[in-house]
């Protein structure tokens, strides 16, 4: 398990990366509780949260926790059968939103992805957030448990250094990319 410390909003936070086998029982419980709190309870999507992919040897769990506190934000990086990576289960605890935690998670996840193609299924209102990290829509919007999503991917050779594309002077929210895309008020799971 690796971690790095940072001070965010005056609170010491740690960024952690681990395989499932390296997690202790209280950490597994806390990470799954955060995911269930956000996706099952808050978003009212009763689905089997434990899908078996957490246990895969190539899966990496990435989370931020306040010093000696519960996880504030989480995502996982999966290895798909075709060799590409997949980012999923991106969530931020309700009381931790707006502190930039998702912007700390994504560069860490993309470091793990490396030069591989990477896919994700973005909740539609977060498309602009993921555009900022080099992802592009790869298909039409669809409903998953009643929540609009857009499939997105980042090409295999694209490496982003220093965070989202917008920090490099490129605005991901160009009007031509937003044309025809509805603005959907949904509870935030990422905190752009």
152-161 average pLDDT score: 77
The dihedral of CA 2, 86, 152, 99: what is its sign?
negative
pTM reported for the whole predicted model: 0.77
111-115 average pLDDT score: 95
Q: Is residue 176 predicted with pLDDT exceeding 50? A: no
Among 83, 89, 119, CA closest to 105: 89
Q: What rounded mean pLDDT belongs to the chain?
A: 82
Superfamily grouping for domain 2-178: Gcn5-related N-acetyltransferase (GNAT) (3.40.630.30)
H-assigned helices in 48-165 = 101-113, 127-131
Domain ranges of the chain: 2-178
Helix (H, G, I), strand (E, B) or coil at 78: strand
pLDDT tens digit sequence for 62-109: 999 987 789 999 999 999 999 999 999 999 999 999 999 999 999 999
Burial 75-87 (b: 16+ CB within 10 A, else e): bbbbbeeeebbbb
């Amino acid at each position: 398990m690796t971690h790095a410390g940072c001070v965010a909003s005056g609170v010491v936070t740690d960024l952690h990366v681990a395989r499932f086998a390296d997690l202790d029982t209280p950490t597994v419980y806390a990470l799954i509780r955060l995911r269930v709190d956000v996706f099952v309870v808050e978003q009212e999507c009763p689905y089997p949260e434990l899908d078996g992919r957490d246990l895969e040897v190539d899966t990496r769990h990435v989370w931020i926790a306040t010093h000696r506190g519960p996880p504030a934000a989480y995502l996982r990086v999966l290895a798909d059968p075709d060799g590409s990576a997949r980012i999923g289960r991106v969530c931020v605890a309700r009381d931790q939103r707006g502190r930039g935690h998702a912007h700390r998670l994504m560069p860490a996840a993309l470091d793990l992805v490396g030069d591989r193609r990477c896919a994700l299924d973005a909740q539609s209102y977060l498309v602009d957030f993921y555009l900022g990290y080099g992802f592009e829509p790869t298909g039409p919007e669809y409903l998953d448990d009643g929540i609009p999503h857009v499939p997105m991917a980042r090409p295999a050779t694209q490496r982003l250094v220093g965070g989202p594309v917008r920090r490099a002077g490129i605005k991901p929210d160009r009007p031509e990319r937003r044309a025809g895309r509805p603005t959907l008020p949904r509870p935030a799971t990422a905190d752009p």
